[in-house]
Amino acid sequence: MKPRAPFVTLVEPALPAAQFSTLRRRILSLGEERLRESYQTTFWFELSTPPTNVVEQAVLKLLPHLTPERRRGVTGVEWWLSRMRTSNVKVDFHVDRDNALFDDTGRTVTPHTSSLLYVTKSVGGLLAVTKQKADPSRPACAPDTDDFDFVEPGPNRFAFFDAKLTHGVLDARNEIPLKRLPTEPGWRIGIAINFWKRRPRRVATFSESTHYRRLEIRGRAV
């Protein structure tokens, strides 16, 4: 039987070493700013506009890593910081979507491509990606399948996949999260980057926000 095509494409190293070092340092300098709200603090970056922060500078370097099909028609990205303890994973298996549109209309519209740029390594915390749907009857809504691609977090590792695929994070033991585990050293830190063909509803640009000012491009008024 012919092996299936991989769900996930990996690029490593994704950014030039000096650029990644600056990006990592700036993100770590945020400390606990909006740590509890990381997944609700999202930004829109229109690719036709100049970058305003070090994350958007990184996005422009990452874009050519996508396949031509993945780049076709993309106008911008929605990005946020993914910061968690793998001993206490609070994100269930899911498919990325326009959350405001879903709240307003009940319609599910997904990005064209989902991706993660990892900033740190972690204890456990594998990314698990599958074509099977999330199952609300199971712990962490994990799909009832063993057909996954797994991605180990590692500095400057870039992973991208079709945004219609279900994905989630395994715990510090690389198992489906069931309960809180003893706290591990360090955080699992990455940048979630969704490539869209149109801007999702009610997602502010970095310039429209007051958050994460330490990420702004120095010498530039934002």
- CA–CA separation, 130 vs 176, rounded Å? 14
Burial-class residue 103 by CB neighbours within 10 Å (0-12, 13-18, 19+).
Answer: exposed
Quote the Cα angle for 113-55-208, to 5°: 95
Give the fold, CATH level 3, of 8-209.
Jelly Rolls (2.60.120)
Position 138 pLDDT exceeds 60: yes
Alpha helix (H) ranges present in 130-221?
none
Query: Model's pTM, two decimal places?
Result: 0.96
pLDDT in tens, 47-81: 999 999 999 999 999 999 999 999 999 999 999 99
Average pLDDT over residues 78-102: 98
Distance CA 200, CA 110 (A): 9
User: How is 17-62 classified by DSSP, letter by letter?
Assistant: HHHHHHHHHHHHTTTTTTSTTGGG--EEEETTS---BHHHHHHHHH
Q: Tell me, what's the pLDDT at 220?
A: 54
**Contact call for residues 117 and 13 (beta carbons, < 8 A):** no
Euclidean distance between CA atoms 113 and 96, whole angstroms: 9
Question: What confidence category does residue 190 fall into, taking pLDDT thresholds of 50, 70 and 90?
Answer: very high
Task: Give the whole-angstrom CA distance, residue 17 versus residue 119.
Answer: 12
At residue 221, the pLDDT reads 47
Q: What is the mean pLDDT of the chain?
A: 97
Structural domain spans, the chain = 8-209
pLDDT of residue 2: 83
Q: Does residue 222 register a pLDDT over 90?
A: no
Q: What is the average per-residue pLDDT within 200-222?
A: 89
pLDDT in tens, 1-43: 788 999 999 999 999 999 999 999 999 999 999 999 999 999 9
pLDDT, residue 1, reads 74
Return the half-sphere exposure (C-beta side, CA atoms, 13 A cut-off) of residue 103.
6
